[in-house]
Amino acid sequence: MKNRLSRIINPKTGHTVMLAVDHGYFQGPTSGLERPGEVITPLLPWADAVMLTRGVLRNTIDATISNPVVLRVSGGTSILKDDLSNEDITTSMRDAVRLNAAAVALSIFVGAPNEKQTLVNLARLVDEGEEYGMPVLAVTAVGRDMVRDARYLGLASRIAAELGASMVKTYYCENFGKVVEGCPVPIVIAGGKKIPEPEALKLAYNAIQEGAVGVDMGRNIFQSEDPIAMIQAVRSIVQEGYTPDEALELFNSLKGKKK
């Protein structure tokens, strides 16, 4: 388990840049990810880990990649349904091991109609993971009517850790330090909806300053006007201590260059 985690969170820096490209599991061909292999592969040199489903992994990613894989193993619903919380475990632990995953990821929906089901899913997945030394990343999914504040995200993150998650993925918010303080396992932040590059870089910077071990960022990378420049800029903040201004300068210097 520790070895797998150390492949995701660099033990030298204590930080990680995870590339989140699992959106299709309920959103279908998400904007920017219509051809997943073509989008993901050129970004991998700057990703400490890649988070995706087994379908995209098997069919579009070269089996020889060295990036650790965080395998999305929850699902069972789609954006056509009002209640996205009706998730179950969709991939067996055996298949995750066979695919050489470094961790498995599942969403919990605290406060949503299927709160209990998703929390029990997490606990079961942790039990199965313990048998194989497989860490579980819990994603605190936020329903449409939930407020993304430190109280709610702190509650959801802490519950995930209490149920045995090895890592938590949540959203950045005001007083994010409080969320980190109450969660005894490493936290990474999602990027959320696409925002202008300077804002996304500031978001990554603030999260690290306030105690996140890294980012698990998707749309703000693959929907950027230059995804390859953007992942390098995000990486410069997370792994090299750049300020948002320095990272933006890097982004602008790389942007548009022939890859």
Interacting residues with ligand R5P (CB under 6 A): 20, 22-23, 51, 107, 139, 141, 190-192, 216-220
Euclidean distance between CA atoms 158 and 133, whole angstroms: 22
Assess contact for 194 and 30: CB atoms under 8 A. no
> Quick one: 56 or 141, whose CB is closer to ligand R5P?
141
Q: Is 169 a known active-site residue?
A: yes
Query: In the bound complex, what is the minimum distance in angstroms from residue 258's beta carbon to ligand R5P?
Result: 27
- Give the number of other CB atoms < 10 A from CB of residue 195: 15
Q: How far is CA 198 from the centre of its chain?
A: 20
> Quick one: 23 or 202, whose CB is closer to ligand R5P?
23
Residues counted in the chain: 259
Closest C-alpha to 40, from 65, 8, 10, 6: 65
Query: In the bound complex, what is the minimum distance in angstroms from residue 75's beta carbon to ligand R5P?
Result: 10
Query: One of 12, 169, 202, 257 is an active-site residue; which one?
Result: 169
Query: In the bound complex, what is the minimum distance in angstroms from residue 43's beta carbon to ligand R5P?
Result: 13
> Quick one: 71 or 139, whose CB is closer to ligand R5P?
139
> Quick one: 65 or 195, whose CB is closer to ligand R5P?
195
Query: In the bound complex, what is the minimum distance in angstroms from residue 217's beta carbon to ligand R5P?
Result: 4
Euclidean distance between CA atoms 88 and 226, whole angstroms: 35
At which residue do the structure tokens 């890097």 appear?
250
AA letter at 196: P
Active site residues: 169
